[in-house]
Chain A
């Protein structure tokens, strides 16, 4: 208890330091966030939820090498919080309270050729609202509205020669998508066939060890940026196996074990962007191939249009899959919303910034309205207010989340 008090006092002291007093290579933030819901999908869902985060990052240049390490500590009041376990690759089904977000070194082999090794995040694709090149990368959906990417353990070789760039990535470990607690308001699973009161017993099935390998080529020609990519290996989004054969009846309902399994998938894609006056046009097309009966093939395209208006930006993205999915698309995660129209508007104001995002599912007529305003109390303290309103048909991935409508408030102190 005494140690806890000392730790809390040290944290408060750190937060109250009026200006960045730490070494230049250290940054981070502490954030307290609260959510309030107006509905519950079952009696286990809380009305109120708290989420506390402490994040620290260290960056250092040693010779020509860049070293980066970061870690995150979290405290969540809901069932999304996992046990305190060693999970350096985010392979378990729940979020560990302590996790490593970055641990990498980048070595310049030549002035135009870099080798990066360790744990880091990737960001691919051209279209911002939905990119098929980016969508397969692992996400943490514990908060289904945050679109949080998970870092990977990988080797990356990247280089540039004239107008041509390339990036080769090998990830020897599968980092799986992390899903919300099944049956909760964040993953209600309203699929017909589950009797009321069914409880899902999610088994922490270990993902396969091999990850994926990918190659991306990019080039710039005047106002055009073009690219092509290919990848093969394990798809990090799991396929859920509901083991009705092992279901057990209890006094409150049926308990159904749910396993995760992972399919292999090969994919190729092209990407294109162009400046046209004040507009930026971007497009991608991808063909994804899998022999898995529940996953199948996919032909995904996306188009986006971006226009700046002073300190604001309007971004409209349309994405669709030309192939019908063998199972309910909601169970395929990165393909769940397709076809989708995403309209995002953000703007920086004198006091801070705000953003508004409307995600409209074109298959089921459902969608998500998301708004957020951040007020800069100072350069280091920020207060954010926002809300997420899923709406529409419960058959759609957004409409199914109607019990997850919420407002939130967050206070962040950066350093």
Chain B
């Protein structure tokens, strides 16, 4: 039961990662890290987003686990409503997850539908350092990256796979909740200011503990989006890959899709 809960949590937050990374718009260079991040947010907001996703977890022994789902979002950030429905494997098929944002500073309302129970259950927010269903993401990794919760500084430039990048260091501000990490290093592709890599440093560590790599970046419906995201746990030697398919932005959503009535529709989207 909880497995589905946490898996749904992953997917919601993955949707947020996709959303946030898509905010890094092309801007004219000449400002500091904070200004760049702020500019990006203003340019790449979308009214809706939907996609189908495949998640693959490969542990250190090479054993592979897969999951599939459909994700729908309407609104963004403070007024976002998300619905996720798992499609694969059979054990979790039909599990649904609904999240409805509340006013600033409040956690979203979240419900889970389990076909085995035939009813929805309201769920609470999770530990930020907890891993999800044996994946390499924890809850904090999946949270929307809000630069206002970080002290940010432009550290220089580097080239990743032939793409020149700006390197920005982000230090969590403790007043916005305890972070699992002491530091995050963001690599932004210079031409489109899109996130290509994120190195995550746990407290007291000199080397990154985990690394998120975004690739297969495409412009869809006028919005940049990474179709592949891979989180590696550099200590454990495992990795989790997320592939996004059937991505669409600003497509009108069915009336009543983001309701408890719809969440409880067995077999529905």
Q: Which residues of B contact A (CB under 8 A)?
A: 1-3, 5-6, 59, 65-66, 87-91, 93, 102, 107, 109, 117-119, 121-127, 129-134, 254-256, 259-261, 264-268
Contacts and interface: CB of A to CB of B under 8 A. Distances in A.
A279 interface: yes
A69 B16 CA distance: 36
A348 interface: yes
Interface of A: 20, 24, 27-29, 59, 61, 66, 68, 106, 111-112, 114, 121-125, 128, 158-160, 165, 218, 220, 222-223, 225, 273, 275, 277-280, 306-313, 346-351, 353, 376, 379-380, 382, 414-415
Contact of A27 (B2, B90, B117): B90
Given A66-B266, A311-B131, A379-B65, A348 B89 contact: no
Contact of A122 (B88, B118, B126, B267): B118
A114 B255 contact: no
A312 B133 CA distance: 10
A173 B265 CA distance: 23
B124 A310 contact: no
A158 B124 contact: no
Contacts of A27: 90, 93
Contacts of A308: 2, 5-6, 123-124, 126-127, 130
Contact of B268 (A66, A275, A379): A66
A311 B2 contact: yes
Given A160-B256, A308-B124, 13 more contacts: A27-B90, A66-B266, A112-B256, A124-B119, A160-B260, A223-B109, A273-B122, A280-B124, A306-B124, A308-B130, A312-B2, A348-B3, A350-B59
A311 B6 contact: yes
B131 A20 contact: no
B261 A112 contact: yes
A310 B130 contact: yes
Contact of A114 (B88, B109, B265): B265
A357 to B, nearest CB: 12
A318 B102 CA distance: 31
Nearest to A161: B261
A121 B133 contact: no
Given A346-B2, A414-B90, A128 B131 contact: no
Given A220-B260, A380-B90, A348 B122 contact: no
A350 B126 contact: no
B261 A114 contact: yes
The 6 A-B pairs of least Cβ separation, nearest first, read A310-B130, A123-B118, A160-B261, A350-B134, A414-B90, A123-B119
